[in-house]
């Protein structure tokens, strides 16, 4: 079926996720303003963007519901993410809705657990390798991490934005007394105190992206 290869436009859709709002930003090739309105797209003008609260981009989980409709135009069909609140009206207008999948749940194994930091209202989550209990506790405290509860809601995985800063420090391996360099993400609000406690910021590409200016640079 032919596809629309027009210019991509940066937009967001609204999701109800984890008991609160989530603004899922992405680039769409839907051209008609009326169709974007029906889908619940909000155009993002990065030059006028005031805040990035609850905003994610390049997110692996969760993803919004998707709407698709056969059209009579050259494109053959329209398909894009849609806002939760627009789903009833879209269904009534003949759109087929693919519901969003449930967000990824926390993991807890002998080797790892889910840690997260909260950035701009977003719970940025990842799997944290387990360390000896004392070292693990110190790491969590000093870097501002939170260990996710088994029923933790609202976790967001694999985002390009926001992205927490990364820190590292040398630690002793208690099994063979060797020294390893431990790296982990840190809560942006705890970065200064983590550095005071002996951690150093690791300037890895694509990390520490938390502000409006960071978002502008990322999406171009």
pLDDT tens digits for range 87-132 = 999 999 999 999 988 778 898 888 899 999 999 999 999 999 887 7
pLDDT tens digits for range 62-89 = 999 999 998 766 557 889 999 999 999 9
**pLDDT, position 2:** 46
β-pair type (122-129, 155-157) = parallel
**Inter-CA distances, 190 with 40, 55, 56, 187, 217, Å:** 36, 21, 21, 5, 24
pLDDT tens digits for range 158-200 = 999 999 999 999 887 666 667 788 899 999 999 999 999 999 9
Q: Which residues contact residue 12 at a Cβ distance below 8 angstroms, ignoring those fewer than 6 apart?
A: 23, 24, 25, 26, 41, 42, 44, 55
Q: Are 106 and 150 in contact (CB under 8 A)?
A: yes
Going 109 to 110 to 111 to 113, the CA torsion angle's sign is positive
Q: Phi first, then psi: what are they for 72, rounded to 5°?
A: -95, -5
pTM equals 0.89
């Amino acid at each position: 079926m032919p596809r629309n290869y027009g210019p991509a436009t940066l937009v967001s859709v609204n999701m109800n996720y984890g008991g609160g709002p989530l603004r899922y930003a992405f680039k769409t090739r839907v051209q008609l303003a009326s169709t974007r309105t029906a889908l619940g797209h909000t155009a993002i003008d990065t030059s006028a963007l005031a805040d990035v609260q609850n905003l994610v981009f390049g997110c692996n989980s969760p993803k919004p519901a998707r709407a698709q409709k056969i059209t009579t135009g050259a494109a053959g069909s329209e398909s894009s993410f849609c806002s939760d609140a627009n789903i009833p009206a879209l269904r009534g207008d003949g759109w087929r809705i693919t519901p969003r999948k449930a967000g990824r749940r926390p993991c807890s194994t002998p080797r790892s657990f889910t840690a997260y930091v909260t950035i701009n209202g977003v719970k940025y989550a990842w799997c944290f390798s387990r360390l000896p209990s004392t070292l693990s506790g110190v790491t969590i405290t000093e870097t501002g991490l939170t260990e996710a509860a088994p029923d933790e809601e609202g976790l967001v995985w694999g985002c390009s934005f926001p992205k927490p800063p990364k820190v590292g420090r040398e630690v002793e391996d208690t099994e063979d007394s060797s020294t390893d360099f431990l790296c982990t993400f840190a809560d942006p609000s705890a970065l200064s105190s983590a550095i005071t406690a002996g951690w150093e910021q690791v300037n890895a590409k694509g990390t520490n992206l938390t502000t409006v200016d960071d978002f502008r640079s990322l999406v171009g």
